[in-house]
Amino acid sequence: PPMPPEEGQQALGDFVTYNIAIEMLQYAAANRAKTGQPFFQVTGIKRPHLNWRAPAGYVDMYPIEQVAPPTQLTLDKSIDPVAYTVFPMNAPLSANASASGDFVHSPYMHGTDYQLRELRQHYYAAVSWADFATGQILNELDKLKLTEDTMVVLHVRDVMESPLMEHPSLLLSESCLDG
């Protein structure tokens, strides 16, 4: 994936977050080498939280014609919608449409096949971006030779079944651990 931000592109929050996390790790590692003092660090990567934004190039990793539409189009009626959030999701009605529409008004309504695939495409891009950002922090642990005696806890929040994500799953793939 491209190294964000590209020239003329504003840095997304997670770009700033992972770079600050790396700076803090470098400081903590130097302090530990000097004083022996252990450290604790918490870093929060926002993505893939709504709205699903990622740097240029990440959406292109998932050509829309290769993105499968969901099999479950709406929230199952047996699930209480109390936690459902109506978040505007504007997407073209079709590949050739000039018109678009916000179709998320209820957990029991869905957009066109194309709209759902486009939203999934952006969700996948946001997951890949979160994967990349997390990988940058873990790579820094390796560079600082802290991997063998550092505990890393990955906590994924807001994972739920929805029309866009068939089943809850671990959002960060093994690739972030491969360096």
pLDDT digits (tens), the chain, 179 positions: 556 666 666 667 778 888 888 999 999 999 999 999 988 888 888 777 677 778 878 889 999 999 988 888 887 788 777 766 666 666 666 677 666 666 667 777 777 888 888 888 888 888 888 888 888 899 999 999 998 888 888 776 654 434 444 433 333 344 444 44
Whether the CB-CB separation of 74 and 110 falls below 8 Å is answered with yes
Closest CA to 132 of 28, 7, 10, 17: 17
- The contacts of residue 130 (CB under 8 Å, 6+ apart) are 14, 45, 46, 47, 48, 171, 172
- Answer yes or no: are the C-beta atoms of 52 and 123 closer than 8 Å: yes
For residues 110, 112, 113, 116, the Cα torsion angle rounded to the nearest 10 degrees is -60
Q: Rounded to the nearest 5 degrees, what angle is found at the Cα of 166, between the Cα atoms of 164 and 171?
A: 85
pLDDT of residue 123: 86
Model-level pTM? 0.74
pLDDT of residue 168: 37
Predicted confidence at residue 173, as pLDDT, reads: 40
Question: What was the pLDDT predicted at 165?
Answer: 47
Q: Which residues of 95-124 are buried (b: 16+ CB within 10 A; e: fewer)?
A: eeeeeeeebbeebeebbbebbbbbbbbbbb
pLDDT at 176: 42
pLDDT recorded at residue 10: 64
Distance CA 86, CA 130 (A): 23
pLDDT at 128: 87
CB 171 within 8 A of CB 130: yes
pLDDT of residue 167: 39
Of 24, 23, 22, 14, the C-alpha closest to 46 is 14
6 burial level (CB within 10 Å; 0-12, 13-18, 19+): exposed
